[in-house]
Structure 1
Amino acid sequence: MSTSRRAFLFGRKLPDSGWQRFCQRLARTCQGLLRVAEDGEVADLAPLRAQDVRHALALCAEHGVQLALAEASASRPILPTLRVDPSNLNDLAPLPGAPGFWRAGPGCTLETLAAAGCTQFQVEAGAARPVQTLAAWLSGPAPAALCPTGHGLASGVAALDVLLADGSAITLGPFGAQDRQPLRGATLQALVPALFELSSSEDAARCLAAPHWPWAGRLDALQPAHGGVNLAHLLLGQGGALAWVESVLVTAMPAAPQAPNCPVTAAGDLAAIDGAGARLADAVKQRFDPLGRFPALPLRLSDPY
């Protein structure tokens, strides 16, 4: 009996589980290297196109799989997880008509950015991880160390093109009366007012008193020490928990300002600020990703003092 007739009579053999169906659909839809772990529901994808990540996130939503930045996933995932390595998405191009500004893909390395003149990404000689992508830098503790509270401008990040948990592709950048680009899309129009409300809370006031903001979701971006509000700075140090970064508009910046001496010394005050930061981070996560499409928030990225 021919294969086609056998399939007609008895049906084609289907994957044994939802995870296997997810992996098969992912392999058919996305370009790039896909590795599926033999033990556990974990897979690794190195996409060739930004569109591949959009397809992957849609499949993740359909099959109940989390999408994680590979470099931000140190521990073994608990839930079914697709770890995405952005190394192939490493474009870097000058922005036409804007000298000194560069459009970088999430896989662009810090070394490449530093060579282009963005010295804030200069990797110290002898660093344990000399090769690091921009996406990993944005997700890790480095922005907290580089940018004191209220000084996200020191990152040199001017705007982010990101993919939100619901699949919306949006741009986060300058915001306010002088900004000519309106908030586009229902998701962003609901998200931004909610974040401003959080930034005016008592917990936010406590965190703004700390020299550094080491929690995911930098609400200090909405109350900058200098310059206007830039929504891109909300994601500095996000731990891969809030959105997928598709591209970054970046420019060279001088040395970051020194963080002020912290007037808080009592252990109770330190604990209160730390608790406030954790509550705010959870609230920001809920606003960005209520269904948990991205991994859980990281632990505190660094010491705020």
Structure 2
Amino acid sequence: MQPSRRAFLLGRRPVQTPWATFLQRLALRCQGTVRDQGGLPGQAPRAVLAPLREADVVHARALCAEYGVVLALADAEGPFAPAAGALLRVDPGRLAGLARLAGAAPRWRAQPGVPLAALAQAGLRQFDGLPGAMTLAQWLAAPAPWAAGDCAASGVLGVDLLLADGVEESLGPFGADDVQPLRSATVQRLVPALFQLAGGELAAACRGADRWQARYRLDALAPRAPAGVNLAHLLLGHGGTLAWVRSVTLAAAPAPGSARAESGEGGAWPSHAIALQARIKALFDPHGRFPALAAGPDGDNL
């Protein structure tokens, strides 16, 4: 009997591709929805995950690492370097919890899918006039055009992260104002390396103008007085390329226009900014679990 006929009679299934197996396992482990987008000729396959719970993203990151799939924030603002392999976009729209925290000072904790309209309605003035349908994750990932050293004007107090290696960590005030020590060995190694970069020549060159010249806000480690160092501000403008943001703690800040400088976005980044961004990316994501920023303005949209 021919092998093909034997397989048919015995009901054996054809061997699945790694991509099909990845999607099958993703759908089994996640409560959210998974949509296969296939791929254009010559392009690696794409899919979209709409998680229903935070654990869905945890499972997705682990499977992406196992199968060599890049995990990207859906609709994040690039430009991005071309993705060499398969890509999973994560749409956080259903992760939209928003709660005011206890305490005398008004603070809110928001999940990544909260729309900016809801944040503005809660009294967070920094979101007034911004696109109401934009999610908090997209806003945090977009270019952050505050003047150099002025990241505190964002109103971001802390971020809860899922890092490239699967470690969950919380970042916030650092040093004398630190109320939440770094828990993971990953971040305990990462932070000194970032401070070393912040004191180096590349960062000094990026700080040479009123506008911080790089996309990653390493100037968060050298804020203007009276603001203190807040590690959460490192995620402003990150494009979804450094970590997955699980939640953000926010306070009200001045409305756009009164606290922002001209962003100067557009055109090529100077060479020292490109070099600094590559160093920061390598520290956060040495194995390329997340997308990478392009070296110039002509990169891809993911």
**TM-score of the superposed pair, with normalisation by structure 1:** 0.84
Deviation at 1:254, TM superposition (A): 2.0
Q: 1:73 to 1:229 in 2, by over 3 A?
A: closer
Measure the CA separation in 2 of the matches of 1:230 and 1:62: 33
CA contact 1:152–1:224 (8 Å) conserved in 2:
yes
Q: Which runs of 4+ in 1 moved over 6 A?
A: 73-76
Q: Does the C-alpha gap of structure 1 residues 279 and 13 become closer, same or farther in structure 2, counting only changes over 3 Å?
A: same
Note if 1:79 corresponds to 2:85: yes
CA distance in 2, matches of 1:279, 1:104: 33
- 2:246 alignment counterpart: 246
CA contact (8 A) 1:110 1:123 kept: no
**Which residue number corresponds to residue 267 of structure 1?**
none
Deviations along 1:3-49, one digit per CA (max 9) or x if unpaired, are: xxx99x96853652111110000010001121101334100010000
Give the Cα separation in 2 of the matches to 1:295 and 1:198.
22
Query: Which position in structure 2 is the counterpart of 1:103?
Result: 109
Say whether the 8 Å CA contact 1:68–1:81 is kept in structure 2.
yes
Give the 3-state SS of the residue equivalent to 2:19 in structure 1: helix
Residue segments in structure 2 that go unaligned for 5+ positions in a row = 1-5, 298-302
Aligned residues of 1:149 and 1:212 also touching (Cα < 8 A): yes
Q: CA RMSD in A?
A: 2.6
Aligned with residue 99 of structure 2, among 82, 93, 97? 93
Which residue in 2 is equivalent to 1:265?
none
**Residues 32-51 of structure 1 mapped to structure 2, 5 A cutoff:** 32-39=32-39, 40-51=44-55
Q: Does residue 61 of structure 2 align to residue 60 of structure 1? A: no
Equivalent-residue separation in structure 1 for 2:259 and 2:10 (angstroms): 70
More displaced, 236-245 or 74-83? Answer: 74-83
Asked if structure 2 preserves the Cα contact closer than 8 Å seen for 1:162 and 1:246, the reply is yes
**Which ranges of structure 1 fall in alignment gaps of 5 or more residues?**
1-5, 263-269
Seen in structure 2, the aligned counterparts of structure 1 residues 49 and 258 have a Cα distance that, compared at 3 Å, is: closer
Percent of aligned pairs with the same residue? 52
163-172 vs 173-182, greater mean Cα deviation? 173-182
What's the CA shift for 1:238? Answer: 0.4
- Name the CA distance, whole Å, in 2 between partners of 1:238 and 1:300: 15
Q: Do 2:124 and 2:252's aligned partners in 1 also have CA atoms closer than 8 Å? A: yes
Residues 48-86 of structure 1 show CA distances to partners (whole Å, capped at 9, x for unaligned) of 001100000000000000000011177884420000000
C-alpha distance in 2, partners of 1:22/1:244?
A: 20
Task: For 1:25 and 1:12, locate their aligned partners in 2 and report how far apart those are by CA, in whole Å.
Answer: 20
2:279 aligns with 283
What SS is found at the alignment partner of 1:160? strand
**Is the CA contact (8 Å cut-off) linking 2:206 and 2:214 kept in structure 1?**
no
Alignment partner of 1:184 is 2:183: yes
**Change in 2 beyond 3 A, CA 1:182/1:130:** closer
Calculate the TM-score normalised by the size of structure 2.
0.85
1:194 aligns to what? 193
Amino acid of the structure 1 residue aligned with 2:133: V
Looking at structure 2, the residues matched to 296 and 11 of structure 1 have their Cα atoms a distance apart, in angstroms, of 44
CA distance in 2 between partners of 1:237 and 1:178 (Å): 23
